[in-house]
Amino acid sequence: MKYRYLTLFAILILTIFTFAPIKSIEANRQSDIVVVVADFMATNHSVTNHTHTESFVQILTKITETTDFAFIDAADPYNIIGPINRNQDDFENNVNKFISQLNQGLSNKGDGLLLALRESHSLLGLKNASDESGVFLITGKSDREFDGLVAQTAPLTNRFKSKGWHIDGIALPDHNTESIYFLDQITERTNGELFKLTIPDGYEKLINQLIHKSSSAKNLTNIASNQLDQNESMTSAIHIPPGTKETTVVVLRESSLGQIALGNPSGYLISGKSQQNVILNSPHVLMWKLFEPDPGNWSFQLNGFKGHVSTWESSKNKYSMNLLSKEILPQNQPIALSVQILDGETPTSVSDANLFAKITGPSESSIVYTLTKDSGPSNNEFDVYSAVIPSLNEIGTHKIKLELEWDNHNYKLSTVSNVEVKPFPVLTINPGSNQNTPINQRTKIGTLSSHINESAYPVKQDQIEFIVASDNESRIQIEIVPTDIYPGNTASEYDIFAKPDTNDNFTLYFNLKGEYSGQSYFYVGDQVTFNSIPAKVENILDKSPNQSSQKPVNESNDKPPISSNIATKSVAIQGSSAGNTITLIAIYSSSTIAIILLAFYIYWVNQANPYGILKGEKDNQSLDLSKIQRSNITKLISKNMITGKEINLPGLEQTSFHFSRKGVSIINNNKEKAIRINNQPVLSKANLHDKTWIGSNGKLYTFTFK
């Protein structure tokens, strides 16, 4: 019996320690929640207020994609709808239920709005809402006494602020000074913002704010505005550039009348039921969201509108440019500038486009370079644009503005990067006064020094490379000897000695390599020319007596080199008969290739390895993406991408996964059939988050990071 109780006690303790961490994790997990609180006394004050309330709720839930929603009608503050996620099947039904409920509010409770705000605070606390969460409070002109409400809500708004939860105010068109003052006070206390639902300014501000929070799309751009009679129509056009991932067309209308017809560049009308479109048809806001639209001129016609009408557009381009150059560049040295075009995070290729780089130095002087397209391997299907910049002379920050222009479209895709130009180690060659080196005689032909911005910079002897070119492929022994000594077996000054074994003309080239400022560098230095051909013998009778006292050349070279711990560098080299010009070209070509290869290596190293897990509906359909067996060639060419064939899971054959330090994305390679991400159709590409649902060809998978 005693052992039985001990066993039960051990099981109890084990259970507590096993499940306590799980509960702790669940408790610490935060989610983004938006609570919509509607003041029924204001929303029912006029038909205008009610229709604008409906438009606001529709806009908020349509644009905001990654948030859970809850809805509270101040007429019945304890009857909360939600929190619900927009990916749930009954989401639209719940939104419509809330809008209908607002039209039926019959309560006259003066404290309903205060109770609704208290319930909002309790709900956010109960769901452990993140500091991105908050409340949208809708109100306006009504019979409500706002003066007392300002003081009553003060303690509550302080609790909102302490949690980082904001309250944004939505002022309906039919409002008065008392309601605006109340919203002003409550938003200011919680670091919220006040939006007045006016056409077009108020809605423009609101929609831009929501777009910024939910995506990287640009602000709305006004296309056209007009004042229309009901029997008038309005035609407008929008130019969609290549690479557009998503375009949102918004029509703001004063009345709830009117329809819009949208046509693509081929002249065909776009159906509202198309898989490529999402349509919002609210009383005062019409919105078309086009996914992967064809580039060109799109047209839309407005019919039956009355009063003020304005059309707006916002696009998100899938293309971006990646400058492969390092952040620190050497001064007064050739620079290999390389740029990749990215589709999201994936290198890609574009056609009929030109790339320019405008480099502006610290003194505001600029120069524009044209980058040429070097097509990569055909199986990679991406291009690299490159140019060799002769040199940047100014020290300091340089702005590089990249502009991608298409031949047949009036559109520029631009991005700006900053690089720092600073002095790097260089070699200076000083030829000696005597450029004739007798055969089989060690002769000093010059000196070399390494320095940075005219200050000595000691280097090791093996950092100095030299190449010899000669007319007749003659053998010669080159020796560099340090003349000043620094710690670490380094020196900044070297003497250059040569010892030829045949008569010939020689050119000696020097390069400097090493590590500086956290990166590898390669400096192409100067050259020194000399020869071992004896001078013509003059007639001895013509020589004056005092000239005969001149010392032989070899006597001036008998002085031994300075002794040091650094071994002298002596190499016997077979000269090149290709000539000095060809060798110089080869040196510059090799240097350029080395820089480009180094840039590619740095880019490859920075690519992320695959990670994450795909879990199927069955246990045998789970796959750890980091453990997929891949060939070395595939890892080299596509380190950060896995194709559907490599994954080998049913339904994912025509997809690929792209990995980066920012996250994971899935690419649909079947342009005719969409895959579904969290129940949303995707024809091109979508980002994956933890516990994302992926549906394809009747198969359902869950992507997780762990």
Region 170-198: mean pLDDT is 87
- Please give the sequence-ordered ranges of beta strands (E in DSSP) within 27-146, or none if there are none: 33-38, 68-73, 81-85, 134-139
Instruction: Tell whether the model's pLDDT for residue 578 goes beyond 60.
Output: no
> What's the confidence (pLDDT) of residue 27?
45
Least confident piece of the model among 62-76, 240-254, 257-271, 540-554 = 540-554
Mean pLDDT computed over 379-384: 64
How would residue 12 be classed by pLDDT, with cut points 50, 70 and 90?
Answer: low
**In the prediction, which pLDDT does 9 show?**
57
Give the mean model confidence (pLDDT) for residues 28-33: 72
At 99-155, the pLDDT tens digits run 888 777 555 556 788 888 888 888 888 888 888 888 999 988 887 877 788 888 888
Helix (H, G, I), strand (E, B) or coil at 587: helix
pLDDT band at 204 (very low <50, low <70, confident <90, very high): confident
> pLDDT at position 575, please?
46
Counting beta carbons within 10 angstroms of the beta carbon of residue 26, is it exposed (0 to 12), middle (13 to 18) or buried (19 or more)? exposed
Strand positions, DSSP E, 633-706? 641-643, 655-660, 663-668, 675-677, 680-682, 685-688, 692-696, 699-704
pLDDT at 652: 86
- Average pLDDT of the residues in 71-83: 86
Structure tokens at 84: 């619900």
In the predicted structure, residue 172 carries a pLDDT above the cut 60 = yes
pLDDT the model gives residue 214 = 67
580 compared with 328, residue with greater pLDDT: 328
CB-count exposure of residue 309 (10 Å: 0-12, 13-18, 19+): buried
What burial letters (b/e) apply to 502-515, b meaning 16+ CB within 10 Å?
eebbbbbbbbbebe
Task: Identify the band that residue 570 occupies on the pLDDT scale cut at 50, 70 and 90.
Answer: low
Instruction: Report the residue count for the chain.
Output: 706
Which residue did the predictor score with more confidence, 534 or 375? 534
HEC profile of 344-375: CCEEECCCCEEEEEEEECCCCCEEEEEEEEEE
pLDDT of 110 reads 61
- Give pLDDT, residue 589: 62
Structure tokens at 369: 């370079």
Q: Residue 62 has what pLDDT?
A: 82
Tokens 């991406």 -> residue: 382
**Residue 537 has what pLDDT?**
57
Question: Can you give the pLDDT at residue 77?
Answer: 86
Q: For the chain, what percent of residues have pLDDT higher than 90?
A: 5
Instruction: Look at 254 and 194; give whichever has higher pLDDT.
Output: 194
**pLDDT top residue among 300 and 592:** 300
35: tokens are 């609570």
Q: Report which of 463, 510, 443, 478 is spatially closest to residue 575, judged by C-alpha positions.
A: 478
**What are the distances in angstroms from CA 369 to CA 336, 338, 441, 597?**
12, 12, 50, 21
pLDDT of residue 410: 75
- The residue-averaged pLDDT of 167-173 equals 89
Judged against a pLDDT cut of 50, whether residue 565 lies above it is answered with no
**Cβ(134)–Cβ(166) under 8 Å?**
yes
What DSSP string describes 607-640? SPPP--EEE-SSGGG-EEGGG----HHHHHH-TT
For residues 612 and 626, the answer to whether their CB atoms sit within 8 Å is: yes
pLDDT at residue 494 above 90? yes
Q: What is the pLDDT of residue 375?
A: 57
- Listed residue (111, 161, 117, 112) closest to 135, CA to CA: 117
582 falls in which pLDDT band (50, 70, 90)?
low
Q: Are 439 and 500 in contact (CB under 8 A)?
A: yes
Taking residues 276-303, what's their average pLDDT? 79
- pLDDT value for 24: 41
Position of tokens 């809805």? 71
Q: Give the mean pLDDT of 513-522.
A: 82
Q: Which region holds residue 518: left if phi is over 0, alpha if psi is between -120 and 50, else beta?
A: left
Q: Give the span between the Cα atoms of 657 and 623, in whole angstroms.
A: 13
Least confident range from 186-195, 475-484, 558-567, 579-588: namely 558-567
DSSP characters for 251-288? EEESSS--EEEEE-TTSPBPPTT-TTEEEEE-SSEEEE
Judged on CB neighbours under 10 Å (0-12, 13-18, 19+), 158 is exposed
| Spatial separation of the C-alpha atoms in residues 611 and 664, rounded to whole Å | 8
What's the pLDDT band for 495 if we cut at 50, 70, 90? very high
Tell whether the model's pLDDT for residue 276 goes beyond 60: no
Looking at every residue in the chain, the average pLDDT score rounds to 78
Q: Is the pLDDT of residue 550 over 50?
A: no
- What's the pLDDT score for residue 8? 56
Percent of the chain with pLDDT over 70: 81
Cα–Cα distance between 486 and 605 in angstroms, integer?
35
Cα(89)–Cα(679) distance, rounded to whole angstroms? 9
Distance, in Å, from the CA atom of 475 to the CA atom of 477, rounded to the nearest integer, reads 7
pLDDT tens across 234-253, in order?
887 888 888 888 888 888 88
76, 39 Cβ separation under 8 angstroms = no
Q: Are 415 and 325 in contact (CB under 8 A)?
A: no
Q: For residues 528 and 5, what is the distance between their CA atoms, to the nearest angstrom? A: 94
Q: What is the pLDDT of residue 493?
A: 92
Phi, psi dihedral angles at 431 (to 5 degrees): -65, 145
Start-to-end C-alpha separation, the chain = 44
Residues 444-459, mean pLDDT to the nearest whole number: 89
Average pLDDT over residues 283-289: 83
pLDDT of res. 42: 84
Q: Quickly list H helices, 64-153.
A: 91-102, 112-126, 146-152
In this prediction, residue 275 carries a pLDDT of 53
* DSSP 8-state secondary structure symbol assigned to residue 379: T
Q: What is the pLDDT of residues 333-380, one digit of tens each?
A: 788 888 888 887 788 888 888 889 899 989 888 888 888 887 544 445
